């Protein structure tokens, strides 16, 4: 079993981001910052309009507030976190997804997470085996469980009952060798075709469709879908 808790698309806006003065032109706009031997490391970065974790490089988790954070002069990392960070433009809007990965090797596995009543949904299925709520994944008080080979990334909503980040999610689903494929993702409202990848036309109701558990494709349809 592997599990990992992290934050996706986090834009951290510091208190001094609203200052009238311009950012220091001498500070870099993107940096690779690495904690070696679990030690704390500080890297210079322009943080006045916020910082985004672009890519995690380490197997150790990178969670803001414990493994990384920012100050006036840059970003720091600790406890083995290694990642690439980018300075944001002033007009960037804050967006945060709290995500945990949980996977099963066929048996039921549990991944502990502090929920405090927060809702959970499947953000992205990583396994060939389907992730279907109530059958191969579910939620208990302070844990997510998976079984039957389900491997997925799960999004944790707000504890105050306001739900999940209100932004579309992108999903790539491909029918290879014209074989039917189910791509798991929790659907609240609708799915639409964003970009067709295959030469075969993707026609809703014929070779692709969706349900609350995800998107299915068949007969060679390969495409990127927008999920709401």
| Per-residue pLDDT at 68 | 85
| Per-residue pLDDT at 57 | 85
**Residue extents of the structural domains in the chain:** 3-87, 97-156, 169-227
- Split at pLDDT 50, 70, 90, the class of 91 is low
| Per-residue pLDDT at 145 | 96
Residue 9, pLDDT above cutoff 80: no
**Average pLDDT rounded to a whole number, residues 52-73:** 82
| Per-residue pLDDT at 3 | 54
- Split at pLDDT 50, 70, 90, the class of 5 is low
Query: Which stretch of 32-46, 56-70, 81-95, 136-150 has the lowest confidence by average pLDDT?
Result: 81-95
- Exposure pattern of 53-74 as b/e (b: 16+ CB <10 Å)? beebeeebbbbbeebbebeeeb
- Split at pLDDT 50, 70, 90, the class of 89 is confident
Q: Which two tokens stand for residue 9?
A: 């698309």
Q: What does the angle CA 154 – CA 12 – CA 67 come to, to the nearest 5 degrees? A: 65
Q: Greatest CA separation found in the chain? A: 58
Phi/psi for 49 (5° steps) reads -110, 10
Per-residue pLDDT tens digits for 12-54: 334 333 333 444 557 888 999 999 999 999 999 998 888 888 8
Please name the residue that has the structure tokens 């990127």. Answer: 224
Per-residue pLDDT tens digits for 103-155: 999 999 999 988 888 899 999 898 989 999 999 999 998 899 999 999 999 99
CA distance 146 to 138: 7
| Per-residue pLDDT at 115 | 87
Per-residue pLDDT tens digits for 149-169: 999 999 998 877 778 877 788
Q: What does the angle CA 62 – CA 157 – CA 8 come to, to the nearest 5 degrees? A: 30
CA distance 228 to 189: 5
| Per-residue pLDDT at 4 | 53
**Average pLDDT rounded to a whole number, residues 176-201:** 91
Q: Which two tokens stand for residue 170?
A: 């992108």
- Split at pLDDT 50, 70, 90, the class of 180 is very high
Q: Which two tokens stand for residue 62?
A: 């990178």
Distances (CA, A) of 55 to 50, 96, 192: 16, 15, 28
**Average pLDDT rounded to a whole number, residues 50-73:** 82
| Per-residue pLDDT at 96 | 72
pTM over 0.75: no
Question: Can you name the residues that pair with 76 across neighbouring β-strands?
Answer: 42, 69
Query: Which stretch of 29-33, 85-89, 131-135, 172-176 has the lowest confidence by average pLDDT?
Result: 85-89
- What average pLDDT does the chain have? 84
Helix (H, G, I), strand (E, B) or coil at 95: coil
CA distance 126 to 124: 6
CA distance 129 to 151: 8
């Amino acid at each position: 079993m592997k599990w990992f808790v992290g934050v996706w698309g986090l834009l951290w806006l510091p208190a001094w981001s609203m200052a009238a003065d311009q950012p220091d032109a001498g500070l870099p706009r993107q940096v690779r910052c690495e904690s070696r031997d679990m030690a704390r490391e500080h890297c210079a970065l322009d943080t006045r309009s916020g910082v985004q974790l672009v890519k995690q490089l380490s197997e150790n988790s990178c969670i803001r507030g414990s493994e990384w954070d920012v100050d006036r002069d840059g970003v720091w990392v600790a406890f083995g976190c290694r990642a690439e960070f980018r300075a944001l433009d002033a007009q960037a809007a804050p967006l945060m997804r709290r995500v945990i990965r949980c996977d099963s090797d066929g048996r039921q596995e549990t991944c502990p997470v502090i929920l405090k009543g927060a809702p959970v949904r499947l953000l992205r299925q990583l396994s060939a085996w389907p992730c279907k709520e109530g059958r191969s994944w579910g939620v208990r008080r302070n844990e997510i469980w998976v079984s039957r080979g389900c491997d997925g990334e799960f999004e944790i909503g707000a504890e105050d009952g306001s739900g999940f980040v209100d932004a579309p999610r992108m999903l790539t689903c491909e029918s290879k060798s014209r074989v039917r494929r189910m791509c798991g993702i929790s659907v609240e409202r609708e799915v639409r075709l964003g970009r067709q990848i295959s030469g075969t036309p993707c026609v809703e109701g014929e070779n692709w469709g969706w349900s609350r558990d995800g998107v299915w494709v068949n007969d060679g349809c390969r495409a990127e879908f927008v999920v709401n």
